[in-house]
C-alpha cells in the first residue's frame, strides 16, 4: 500500500482534488443502474465540492511565495522511485482553479441528451485526470494522468459528438498517444541519466531539475521527446490537424473542456517539464518553437477567417491563441512567462465561453453554418451582448482579461524574439478581423424566418454565462491578485533557467 | 568406457519438481479415471484441472520461498533449474491453465461436448511448458517443447465438427514440425562445436577462446537455427504466418491457451537459452534480435489494422506483444551494461502479466462469439455490446486498454518495464519503435471499442456469461487493475529474478 510519508498535514487538499472526482465518477457509474435520477445530482455534488475545494485552495494559497505549497508525497512504487507527489505553485494554481470551476459549470449547464450516467462518469474521470496532470510533481504520475485523460475524452467525443465523431475521437486518441509515446521514452531516459548524478532512482521532477545535469546532446534529445508530446497536445503547427476535427465533432461540454483545460496540459507541460528540466536545450530549440508558434498564430487566424462553421472558426482561433502562449513561454522573460500563464487561464475562460455560446446556437438552430445565421442581435439582444463581451475578451480588448495576457506576452517577448513578436502582433489584428466579421454575419442584419424565433438566454444559461463574464471583467480590470500569485513562482522559474543557461 | 552396468542415474530432487508431478498426476487422473468411469457431473473435469493447477501453483509458491531462502540451484544432475525465473513462468502457466479450464468448461458444456481429454491435454501441455522454461539442457528443452507442441496441435484440432479447426491443427502441426526441425538441427550443430548441450557448460565452452574461435561459422549457424526455431514458436516476424490462421481456426479457449501458455513457455525458454548459454556471442545475436523485434512489432501492429475478425486482430496483437517482449531480450544482450539484467526481469514481469491479460481478453471473446465460426467472430459480433451489457463491455474495455498499454492497467506496467530496460542499456531506437508500434496497435483496440460502445447492435439479445467464465474473467480483470494501480506487488517479487540458477 501507499506508505505514509513523514510529512504530516492537516488535510491533503491536493490529493482530495484528484481523488474526489474519481470517487464521484465511480459513484455515478454505480448509481446509474439503481437510481438513475440521482446521477446528475451525484455528478453535481462531486464537481461542485471539487470546485469549492479549488477555491479554498486559492484562498489558502500564500501569495508572494515562489515554491510549491500543500505538497503531499507518498511512496507509490518504491522499486522505481515513483511517488504520489503533488504540489501547487503560482504557475499551476490558476489552472487548477480553472479546472475546478469549469467542470461544475459544464455539468450544470449542458445536458448530454442521452446516456447521462456514462456521460457524467466520464466527465468526472476526466476532471480527475486533468487535476492530476496540473498537480503532479512526479514524472511518472504526470505521465499516467496525461495519458489517462485520453480515455474519457475519447468516449465523450465518440459517444456524444456529431456525425464524424468516431473519426474525430480516434484521431484525437492516436495523435496524442503517439506524442506521449516519445515522452514516455524521454521520461525513462531522463530518470536513467539523472540517476547517475543523483545516485538514486527517482521520478521527482524537482529533484531532477535541481540536481541533475545532462550533457548538451542528451538534453536536446530528451527535450525533443517531451516537446513532441506537448506540441501535439497544445497543438502547435504542424501537429494541429486533430484539433479542428475534435472540436467540431465533440459535444459542447467536451469542446469547452478540451479548449478550456485539456490543451493547457500541453503549454503547462512545456513550462513545468520541458523548460524546467532542460533549460539549455529549450534555449537551443527556441527559434524553431518561436517559428512554429508564429506560424500557428498567422495560420490559425487565416484559417479561422475562412471557416463557414462557427465552431470550426473558434477551434482555429484556439490554434492562434495557443501560439501566443507558446511564444510567451519560450521568450523566457519574467513578463512573457507570466503573460503566458495568465493567457492559459484566459484562453480557457473565453474560448470555453465561446464554445458554450456556439453550443447554445446549435441547440436553438441545429446548425452552426455562419451563412444560415443572421440578425440574431434583433431577437436575442442579451445573448448578443454576452457574445460580444466574450468575443472581445478573445480578441484582447483592453479592460477585458485577454488583453492582460496578450499584452504581457508581446512586451516580454519583444526583447528575445523581436521579429517573431512583430509578426505575432499581426495576429492580434487578424483575430479582431475574423471574430468581428463572424459576429457581423451572425448577429447583424435582419433576421430571416428561421432566425426570427431565436430564443433569448434563459435563466440557467444566463447565470452560467454570468460567471464567465464576471471572470472576464474581473481579470481584465483588476489582474493584480492574479499577478501577485503567479509572479513569484515565475521569477524563481526564470532564475532557475538563467542560472542554467549562463 | 561407458559400461551400462556402471550407469548411475542422477539423484532426483522430488520435492523440487513437485509442481511438475502435480500436473502429471492431474493429467493421468483425467485420462485414466475419466476414460474408465461414466460421464462425470457437469464441470467436474474442468474442476479437476483447476484443482491440479491450484496445487501446482501452491507448490511453486512453496518452492519460491525455498529459493528466496536458499538460492537458486540445478536439479537432476544439472538438467533442470530451480530459480525464480522458472517459478514465475510456472506460476503464470498454471494460472493460465486454471483460467482457461474454467472458460473451456462453459464453452464445451454449451453444446454438450464436455470431455476429459481437452483438460488432460491442457495439463500435458503445461508439463511441457514447465519443463521448457526450467530446462538447463537443450535436449531437455526440446523434450518439453515437443510435449507442449504435440498437445497444442491436438488442442487446435480438437473441434471435430469444424473444418477450420482441423485445418488449424494441421497447419500448426506442419509448421511446428519445421520449427522443431530447425531447433534440433541448431542444437546438433552447437553440440558439434562445443561437445555439450548443457546451457551453463555451453557458456563455459564458448568463453574459452582456445576451444571455439570467436567467429566459428558452424556455431553461429547453430545459434541462428535455434533462434529460428524459437521464432516460429513465438511467432516472430517473418515467421508469424501461421499464427492468425491457427488462432482463428482453433476453438477460442484453445486460442487463449496457445496465446498464454505457448507464448510464455517459448519466450521464457528463449530468454534463458540466450542469456545463459550464449552471452559470449551476444554481439552477434543481439543485432538479429533487434531486427526481429522491430519487424515483429511493425508487422504485428500494422497488419492488425486491416483485419475484420476479432480473433485475427488479437492474433496480430499477440504478435506485436511478442515483439515488445523481445525488446527486453535485446536489452539483455548488452552485456557490457550494468543494467543488462533489467531486460530479464522485464521479460519475466511482462509474460506473467500478459498471460492473465490475454486469457481474459479471449475469455470475453469466447462468451461473446459463442462458437469459432468466422461470422461469430467478426467484429460485428461486438457491435453495441457495451450498450446491451455495460459491465461486460467495461471489462473488455479494461482488457483492451491494458493491451494498448494505458496507465493504471497491468499492460502499462509490463510495457514500462521493458522500455525502461531498453533505455537503461541505451537502445533508444528500439524503445521508440516499440512505443510508436504500440500507438499503431492501439488503433486496433480502439476499433473494437468503437464497435462495443459507439455502434448499435443488430440484436438486443443479451450474451449470457456462465458462472465459471464469469469467475475466470473476473479474476483476470481484477488482476489487471490491481497490478495497474499497485505495481509494487509484482515488482517486489521479481526484484531478484535475474539471479538464474548456475550451479
Would you say A206 and A141 are in contact if contact means Cβ atoms under 8 Å apart? Answer: no
Would you say B257 and B100 are in contact if contact means Cβ atoms under 8 Å apart? Answer: yes
Chain B residues whose CB is inside 8 A of the A185 CB are: 419, 423, 428, 431-432, 435
Q: Nearest by CB to A189, from B408, B423, B492: name it.
A: B423
Chain B residues whose CB is inside 8 A of the A173 CB are: 442, 446
Split into its structural domains, chain A has a count of 1
Q: How far apart are CA B412 and CA B404, in angstroms?
A: 8
With the C-alpha atoms ordered B156, B157, B158, B163, is the resulting torsion angle positive or negative? positive
Q: How far apart are CA A248 and CA B478, in angstroms?
A: 37
Would you say A72 and A16 are in contact if contact means Cβ atoms under 8 Å apart? Answer: no
Grid cell 513545468 is found at A272
CB contact under 8 A, B446 and A174: yes
What pairs with residue A84 in β-bridges? A74
Residue A164, chain B, CB below 8 Å: the answer is: no
Q: Model-level pTM?
A: 0.91
CB atoms within 10 A of CB B18: 17
Tell me, yes or no, whether A200 lies in a domain. Answer: no
Residue A259 φ then ψ, to 5°: -70, -40
- From residue A141, how far is each of A86, A204, B264, B338, B346 by CA, in Å? 9, 9, 30, 27, 20
Alpha helices in B37-83 (DSSP H): 44-70
CB contact under 8 A, A148 and B439: no
For Cα atoms B446, B450, B456, give the angle at the middle one, nearest 5 degrees.
165
Alpha helices in A380-417 (DSSP H): 381-395, 401-416
Total residues belonging to chain B = 503
Q: How far apart are CA B319 and CA B49, in angstroms?
A: 28
Grid cell 479494461 is found at B398
Contacts of A462 (CB under 8 A, 6+ apart): A382
Q: Return the number of CB contacts < 8 Å for A and B.
A: 77
- Distance (Å) from the C-alpha of residue B408 to the closest C-alpha of chain A? 7
Tell me, yes or no, whether A258 lies in a domain. Answer: no
Residue A382, chain B, CB below 8 Å: the answer is: no
CB contact under 8 A, B454 and A177: no
- Predicted confidence at residue B503, as pLDDT, reads 61
Q: Indicate if the pLDDT at residue B52 is higher than 70.
A: yes
Average pLDDT score over residue span B74-89: 89
Least confident stretch, A421-430, B96-105, B159-168, B454-463:
B454-463
Residues above pLDDT 90, as percent of chain B = 50
Average pLDDT, chain B: 88
Chain B contact probe: residue of A184, A191, A224, A228 with most B CBs at under 10 A: A184
Judge residue B414's burial from the number of C-beta atoms within 10 Å of its C-beta, 0-12 exposed, 13-18 middle, 19 or more buried: buried
Reference B494, options B137, B45, B58, B91; nearest CA is: B91
Q: Residue A70: CA atoms inside 13 Å, Cβ hemisphere, count?
A: 25
Cα A135 → chain centroid: 13
Residue A185, chain B, CB below 8 Å: the answer is: yes
- From residue A42, how far is each of A37, A107, A388, B394 by CA, in Å? 9, 11, 34, 21
Q: How far apart are CA A165 and CA A142, in angstroms?
A: 28
Q: Running along chain A, 502 residues long, what does each successive block of 10 average in pLDDT? A: 44 88 88 81 89 90 85 86 90 92 88 82 92 92 91 89 87 89 91 86 88 88 92 88 88 89 92 90 91 92 89 89 91 90 91 90 85 83 89 87 88 87 88 88 82 81 89 89 89 88 78
CB atoms within 10 A of CB B188: 13
Tell me, yes or no, whether A399 lies in a domain. Answer: yes
Cα-only R_g, chain B: 22
Chain A residues whose CB is inside 8 A of the B420 CB are: 80, 188, 192
Interface of B with A in 368-407 (CB under 8 A): 390, 401, 406-407
- Predicted confidence at residue B59, as pLDDT, reads 95
Q: Nearest by CB to B407, from A148, A155, A173: name it.
A: A148
With the C-alpha atoms ordered B242, B354, A83, A58, is the resulting torsion angle positive or negative? positive
Q: How far apart are CA B93 and CA B107, in angstroms?
A: 20
Q: How far apart are CA B15 and CA B108, in angstroms?
A: 35
Q: Is A163 helix (H, G, I), strand (E, B) or coil?
A: coil
CB contact under 8 A, B431 and A192: no
Dihedral angle of Cα B58, B59, B61, B62, to the nearest 10 degrees: 120
- Predicted confidence at residue A6, as pLDDT, reads 39
CB contact under 8 A, A78 and B488: yes
Q: Indicate if the pLDDT at residue B3 is higher than 70.
A: no
Residue A151, chain B, CB below 8 Å: the answer is: yes
Cα B336 → chain centroid: 29
Would you say A156 and A123 are in contact if contact means Cβ atoms under 8 Å apart? Answer: yes
- Distance (Å) from the C-alpha of residue A144 to the closest C-alpha of chain B? 5
Would you say A239 and A175 are in contact if contact means Cβ atoms under 8 Å apart? Answer: yes
Q: Nearest by CB to B419, from A32, A158, A185: name it.
A: A185
Would you say B413 and B483 are in contact if contact means Cβ atoms under 8 Å apart? Answer: yes
Q: Residue B33 gets which letter from DSSP?
A: I
Q: Nearest by CB to A185, from B435, B486, B495: name it.
A: B435
Q: Nearest by CB to A192, from B424, B454, B488: name it.
A: B424
Interface of B with A in 414-433 (CB under 8 A): 416, 419-420, 423-424, 428, 431-432
- Distance (Å) from the C-alpha of residue B343 to the closest C-alpha of chain A? 14
Residue B259, chain A, CB below 8 Å: the answer is: no
Chain A residues whose CB is inside 8 A of the B491 CB are: 77, 79-80
Tell me, yes or no, whether A390 lies in a domain. Answer: yes
B454-501 residue pLDDT tens: 777 767 677 788 889 999 999 999 999 999 999 988 888 887 787 777
Residue B446, chain A, CB below 8 Å: the answer is: yes
- Distance (Å) from the C-alpha of residue B445 to the closest C-alpha of chain A? 11
Q: Indicate the pairing of strand A69-77 with strand B80-82.
A: unpaired
- Predicted confidence at residue B495, as pLDDT, reads 77
Residue B482, chain A, CB below 8 Å: the answer is: no
**Which residue in chain A is spatially nearest to B440 when comparing CA positions?**
A174
- From residue B499, how far is each of A361, B82, B344 by CA, in Å? 66, 11, 10
- Distance (Å) from the C-alpha of residue A189 to the closest C-alpha of chain B? 6
Tell me, yes or no, whether A501 lies in a domain. Answer: yes
- DSSP states of A24-78: HHHHHHHHHHH-GGGHHHHHHHHHHHHHHHHHHHHHHS-TT--S-EEEEEEEEEG
Q: How far apart are CA B91 and CA B56, in angstroms?
A: 8
- Predicted confidence at residue A66, as pLDDT, reads 84
CB contact under 8 A, B420 and A188: yes
CB contact under 8 A, B446 and A189: no
- Distance (Å) from the C-alpha of residue B470 to the closest C-alpha of chain A? 19
Q: Indicate if the pLDDT at residue B171 is higher than 80.
A: yes
Residue A148, chain B, CB below 8 Å: the answer is: yes
Contacts of A498 (CB under 8 A, 6+ apart): none
CB atoms within 10 A of CB B163: 10
Which helix (H) or strand (E) segment holds residue B173: the answer is helix B163-194
Chain B contact probe: residue of A76, A168, A169, A181 with most B CBs at under 10 A: A181
Would you say A170 and B443 are in contact if contact means Cβ atoms under 8 Å apart? Answer: yes
Residue B492, chain A, CB below 8 Å: the answer is: yes
- From residue A220, how far is each of A3, A281, A497 by CA, in Å? 36, 5, 15
CB contact under 8 A, A178 and B446: no
Q: Indicate if the pLDDT at residue B342 is higher than 70.
A: yes
Helix A310-331 to helix A418-443 angle (10° resolution) is 160
- DSSP states of A176-234: HHHHHHHHHHHHHHHHHHHHHHHSS---BHHHHHHH----HHHHHHHHHHHHHHHHHHT
Would you say A343 and A479 are in contact if contact means Cβ atoms under 8 Å apart? Answer: no
Tell me, yes or no, whether A414 lies in a domain. Answer: yes
Tell me, yes or no, whether A248 lies in a domain. Answer: no
Tell me, yes or no, whether A475 lies in a domain. Answer: yes
Q: Indicate if the pLDDT at residue B378 is higher than 90.
A: no
Judge residue A276's burial from the number of C-beta atoms within 10 Å of its C-beta, 0-12 exposed, 13-18 middle, 19 or more buried: buried
Q: Nearest by CB to A177, from B412, B428, B442: name it.
A: B442
- Predicted confidence at residue A141, as pLDDT, reads 92
- Distance (Å) from the C-alpha of residue A99 to the closest C-alpha of chain B? 22
Q: How many angstroms separate the most distant Cα atoms in chain A?
A: 74
- Distance (Å) from the C-alpha of residue B83 to the closest C-alpha of chain A? 21
Would you say A292 and A150 are in contact if contact means Cβ atoms under 8 Å apart? Answer: no
pLDDT confidence tier of residue B209, bands split at 50, 70 and 90: low
Chain A residues whose CB is inside 8 A of the B446 CB are: 154, 170, 173-174
Grid cell 442579451 is found at A382
Reference B421, options B284, B277, B276, B275; nearest CA is: B275
Q: How far apart are CA B129 and CA B27, in angstroms?
A: 14
Q: Nearest by CB to B423, from A76, A158, A192: name it.
A: A192
pLDDT confidence tier of residue B281, bands split at 50, 70 and 90: confident
Q: How far apart are CA A123 and CA A156, in angstroms?
A: 8
- Domain span at A421: 278-502
Q: How far apart are CA B181 and CA B377, in angstroms?
A: 33
With the C-alpha atoms ordered B289, B295, B298, B302, is the resulting torsion angle positive or negative? negative
Residue B346, chain A, CB below 8 Å: the answer is: no
Q: How far apart are CA B123 and CA B125, in angstroms?
A: 5
**Which residue in chain B is spatially nearest to A156 when comparing CA positions?**
B454
Grid cell 527535450 is found at A223
Amino acid at each position: 500500500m501507499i506508505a505514509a510519508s513523514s510529512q504530516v498535514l492537516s488535510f491533503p487538499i491536493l490529493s482530495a482534488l484528484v481523488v474526489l472526482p474519481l470517487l464521484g465518477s465511480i459513484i455515478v457509474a454505480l448509481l446509474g443502474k439503481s437510481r438513475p435520477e440521482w446521477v446528475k445530482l451525484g455528478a453535481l455534488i462531486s464537481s461542485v465540492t471539487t470546485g469549492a475545494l479549488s477555491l479554498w485552495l486559492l484562498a489558502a494559497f500564500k501569495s508572494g511565495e515562489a515554491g510549491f505549497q500543500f505538497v503531499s508525497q507518498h511512496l507509490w512504487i518504491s522499486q522505481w522511485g515513483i511517488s504520489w507527489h503533488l504540489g501547487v505553485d503560482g504557475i499551476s494554481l490558476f489552472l487548477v482553479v480553472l479546472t475546478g470551476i469549469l467542470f461544475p459549470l459544464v455539468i450544470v449547464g449542458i445536458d448530454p441528451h442521452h446516456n447521462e450516467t456514462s456521460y457524467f462518469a466520464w466527465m468526472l474521470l476526466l476532471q480527475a485526470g486533468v487535476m492530476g496532470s496540473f498537480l503532479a510533481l512526479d514524472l511518472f504520475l504526470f505521465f499516467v494522468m496525461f495519458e489517462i485523460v485520453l480515455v474519457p475524452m475519447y468516449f465523450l467525443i465518440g459517444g456524444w459528438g456529431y456525425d464524424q465523431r468516431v473519426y474525430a475521437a480516434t484521431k484525437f486518441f492516436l495523435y496524442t498517444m503517439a506524442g506521449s509515446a516519445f515522452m514516455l521514452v524521454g521520461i525513462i531516459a531522463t530518470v536513467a541519466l539523472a540517476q547517475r548524478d543523483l545516485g538514486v532512482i527517482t521520478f521527482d521532477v524537482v529533484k531532477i531539475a535541481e540536481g541533475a545535469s545532462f550533457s548538451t546532446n542528451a538534453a536536446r534529445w530528451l527535450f525533443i521527446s517531451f516537446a513532441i508530446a506537448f506540441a501535439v497536445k497544445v497543438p502547435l503547427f504542424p501537429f494541429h490537424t486533430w484539433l479542428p476535427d475534435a472540436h467540431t465533432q465533440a459535444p459542447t461540454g467536451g469542446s469547452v473542456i478540451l479548449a478550456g483545460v485539456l490543451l493547457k496540459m500541453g503549454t503547462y507541460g512545456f513550462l513545468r517539464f520541458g523548460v524546467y528540466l532542460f533549460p539549455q536545450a529549450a534555449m537551443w530549440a527556441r527559434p524553431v518553437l518561436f517559428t512554429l508558434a508564429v506560424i500557428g498564430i498567422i495560420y490559425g487566424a487565416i484559417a479561422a477567417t475562412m471557416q463557414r462553421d462557427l465552431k470550426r472558426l473558434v477551434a482555429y482561433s484556439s490554434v492562434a491563441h495557443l501560439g501566443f502562449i507558446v511564444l510567451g513561454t519560450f521568450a523566457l522573460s519574467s513578463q512573457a512567462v507570466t503573460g503566458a500563464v495568465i493567457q492559459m487561464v484566459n484562453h480557457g475562460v473565453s474560448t470555453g465561453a465561446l464554445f458554450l455560446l456556439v453550443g447554445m446556437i446549435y441547440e436553438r438552430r441545429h446548425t452552426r453554418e455562419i451563412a444560415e445565421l443572421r440578425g440574431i442581435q434583433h431577437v436575442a439582444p442579451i445573448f448578443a451582448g454576452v457574445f460580444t463581451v466574450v468575443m472581445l475578451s478573445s480578441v484582447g480588448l483592453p479592460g477585458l482579461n485577454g488583453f492582460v495576457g496578450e499584452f504581457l506576452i508581446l512586451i516580454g517577448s519583444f526583447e528575445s524574439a523581436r521579429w517573431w513578436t512583430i509578426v505575432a502582433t499581426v495576429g492580434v489584428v487578424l483575430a479582431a478581423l475574423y471574430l468581428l466579421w463572424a459576429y457581423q454575419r451572425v448577429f447583424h442584419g435582419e433576421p430571416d424566418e428561421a432566425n426570427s424565433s431565436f430564443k433569448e438566454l434563459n435563466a440557467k444559461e444566463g447565470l452560467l454565462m454570468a460567471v464567465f463574464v464576471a471572470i472576464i471583467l474581473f481579470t481584465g480590470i483588476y489582474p493584480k491578485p492574479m499577478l501577485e500569485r503567479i509572479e513569484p513562482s515565475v521569477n524563481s522559474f526564470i532564475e532557475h533557467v538563467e542560472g542554467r543557461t549562463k | 568406457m561407458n559400461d551400462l552396468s556402471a550407469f548411475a542415474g542422477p539423484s532426483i530432487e522430488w520435492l523440487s519438481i513437485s509442481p511438475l508431478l502435480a500436473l502429471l498426476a492431474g493429467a493421468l487422473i483425467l485420462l485414466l479415471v475419466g476414460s474408465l468411469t461414466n460421464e462425470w457431473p457437469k464441470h467436474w473435469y474442468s474442476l479437476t484441472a483447476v484443482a491440479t493447477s491450484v496445487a501446482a501453483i501452491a507448490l511453486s509458491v512453496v518452492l519460491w520461498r525455498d529459493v528466496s531462502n536458499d538460492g537458486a540451484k540445478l536439479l537432476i544432475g544439472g538438467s533442470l533449474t530451480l530459480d525464480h525465473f522458472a517459478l514465475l513462468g510456472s506460476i503464470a502457466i498454471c494460472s493460465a491453465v486454471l483460467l482457461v479450464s474454467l472458460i473451456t468448461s462453459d464453452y464445451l458444456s454449451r453444446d454438450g461436448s464436455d470431455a476429459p481429454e481437452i483438460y488432460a491435454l491442457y495439463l500435458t501441455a503445461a508439463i511441457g511448458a514447465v519443463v521448457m522454461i526450467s530446462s538447463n539442457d537443450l535436449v531437455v528443452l526440446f523434450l518439453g517443447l515437443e510435449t507442449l507442441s504435440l498437445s497444442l496441435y491436438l488442442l487446435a484440432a480438437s473441434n471435430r465438427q469444424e473444418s477450420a479447426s482441423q485445418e488449424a491443427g494441421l497447419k500448426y502441426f506442419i509448421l511446428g514440425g519445421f520449427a522443431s526441425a530447425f531447433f534440433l538441427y541448431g542444437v546438433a550443430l552447437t553440440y558439434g562445436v562445443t561437445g555439450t548441450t548443457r546451457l551453463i557448460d555451453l557458456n563455459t565452452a564458448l568463453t574459452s577462446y582456445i576451444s571455439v574461435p570467436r567467429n566459428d561459422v558452424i556455431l553461429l549457424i547453430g545459434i541462428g537455427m535455434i533462434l529460428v526455431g524459437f521464432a516460429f514458436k513465438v511467432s516472430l516476424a517473418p515467421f508469424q504466418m501461421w499464427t492468425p490462421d491457427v488462432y482463428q481456426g482453433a476453438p477460442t479457449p484453445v486460442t487463449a491457451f496457445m496465446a498464454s501458455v505457448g507464448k510464455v513457455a517459448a519466450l521464457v525458454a528463449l530468454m534463458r537459452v540466450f542469456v545463459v548459454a550464449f552471452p559470449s556471442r551476444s554481439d552477434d545475436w543481439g543485432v538479429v534480435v533487434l531486427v526481429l523485434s522491430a519487424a515483429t512489432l511493425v508487422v504485428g501492429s500494422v497488419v492488425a489494422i486491416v483485419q475484420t475478425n476479432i480473433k485475427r486482430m488479437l492474433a496480430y496483437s499477440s504478435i506485436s506483444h511478442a515483439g515488445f517482449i523481445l525488446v527486453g531480450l535485446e536489452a539483455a544482450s548488452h552485456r557490457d551494461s550494468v543494467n543488462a539484467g533489467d531486460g530479464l526481469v522485464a521479460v519475466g514481469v511482462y509474460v506473467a502479466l500478459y498471460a492473465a491479460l490475454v486469457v481474459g481478453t479471449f475469455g470475453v471473446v469466447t462468451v461473446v462469439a459463442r462458437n469459432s465460426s468466422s461470422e461469430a467472430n467478426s467484429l460485428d459480433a461486438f457491435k453495441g455490446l457495451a450498450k446491451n451489457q455495460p459491465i461486460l463491455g467495461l471489462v473488455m474495455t479494461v482488457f483492451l486498454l491494458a493491451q494498448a498499454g494505458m496507465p493504471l492497467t497491468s499492460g502499462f506496467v509490463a510495457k514500462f518495464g521493458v522500455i525502461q530496460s531498453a533505455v537503461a542499456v541505451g537502445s533508444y531506437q528500439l524503445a521508440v519503435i516499440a512505443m510508436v508500434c504500440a500507438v499503431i496497435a492501439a488503433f486496433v483496440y480502439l476499433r473494437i471499442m468503437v464497435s462495443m460502445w459507439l455502434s448499435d447492435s443488430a440484436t438486443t439479445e443479451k450474451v449470457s456469461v456462465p458462472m465459471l467464465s464469469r469467475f475466470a474473467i473476473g479474476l483476470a480483470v481484477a488482476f489487471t487493475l490491481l497490478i495497474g494501480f499497485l505495481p509494487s506487488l509484482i515488482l517486489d517479487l521479481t526484484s531478484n529474478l535475474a539471479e538464474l540458477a548456475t550451479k
